[in-house]
Chains A and B, each alone.
Chain A
Amino acid sequence: MSDTKKFLYVNRKAPYGTVYALESLEVVLIGAAFEQDVQLLFMDDGVFQIAKGQDTGEAEMKNFSPTYSALGDYEVTKMYVDKQSLEERGLTLDDLIHLTYEDEDDDYAEKDSIRLVSREEIAALMEEQDVILSF
């Protein structure tokens, strides 16, 4: 395919308090149909988007966190999480939704989508993109 570009979605905002997280997820879902090379980065308060145990029943808002688990089926398999942002918030990888995908090049073995990265690695990750979307 001639028009494949590397797209990075940068998520730095918490869910629910503002609509950015939900509407950015909608872009990721639509974008998946365009068969681009897609990556998601969660840093700063964006790490709360993929926190485990979200229950919006009492707040009467739409809980969109299960959608992140479905992204693997849309071939969105590269989710980068800023280590420092987790630490600053007293979180560890275990506090995040376990995001996985089936690797079709490896007999559909289930693999982790989340990769913890340092800020230096984020700098390198950004440099290798063609398009960076932020919301």
Chain B
Amino acid sequence: MKFTIQINEGPYQHQASDTAYQFTKAALEKGHEIFRVFFYHDGVNNATRLTSPPQDDRNVVNRWSALAEKHNLDLVVCVAAAQRRGIADADEAKRNGKDADNLAPGFRISGLGQLIEGGIQADRLVVFGD
């Protein structure tokens, strides 16, 4: 079965990203397909490679990057939400005249249409938020 996952909250502040990660991992282990993981609202903050959590805590961002690499996941960050919150890849940073970018490996920035497409193409959309 094909799943699209929507994540509305950033790391650490809320459990949403943790639950979504555990759900995604369990779905992959059961042989399901993850069509897309879409990061919206403060969920775009899951995509900054500049987080440095304490050593004895989980690294939410790296965990997503690693899962994406292992399973070739499509991790999509909403461009409009990302611009509001200062999440940018090199192209976005350049386009908006910023002096730095911060997108973590395995994520890509794209439009809201990717969420709608996720709803159309997948068998199930599961939303994690606050």
Contact = CB atoms under 8 A, between A and B. Distances in A.
Task: Determine direct contact between A and B, CB below 8 Å.
Answer: yes
Interface stretch (B18-26, B27-35, B56-64, B115-123): B115-123
Contact of A31 (B81, B116, B125, B127): B116
B41 A27 contact: no
Contact of A131 (B112, B119, B129): B119
Interface centre among B80, B112, B113 (most CB of A within 10 A): B112
Given A23-B80, A27-B112, 13 more contacts: A19-B41, A23-B40, A26-B80, A27-B115, A30-B113, A30-B116, A31-B112, A31-B116, A34-B116, A132-B125, A133-B115, A133-B127, A135-B129
Task: Please list the 6 inter-chain residue pairs (A to B) with the smallest Cβ-Cβ separation, ordered nearest first.
Answer: A30-B112, A131-B119, A31-B116, A34-B116, A131-B125, A134-B127
B8 interface: yes
26 contacts: A7-B116, A19-B41, A23-B40, A23-B41, A23-B80, A27-B112, A27-B115, A27-B116, A30-B116, A33-B113, A34-B113, A34-B116, A34-B117, A36-B116, A36-B120, A131-B120, A131-B125, A132-B125, A133-B6, A133-B119, A133-B127, A134-B127, A135-B8, A135-B40, A135-B41, A135-B127
A133 to B, nearest CB: 7
Interface of A: 3, 5, 7, 19-20, 23, 26-27, 30-31, 33-34, 36, 131-135
Size class of the B contact interface (CB-based, 8 Å)? 10 to 19
A127 B81 CA distance: 30
Nearest to B84: A19
Interface string B85-122: 00000000000000000000000000111011101100
Contacts of A34: 113, 116-117, 120
Nearest to A131: B119
A30 B78 CA distance: 12
A131 B5 CA distance: 12
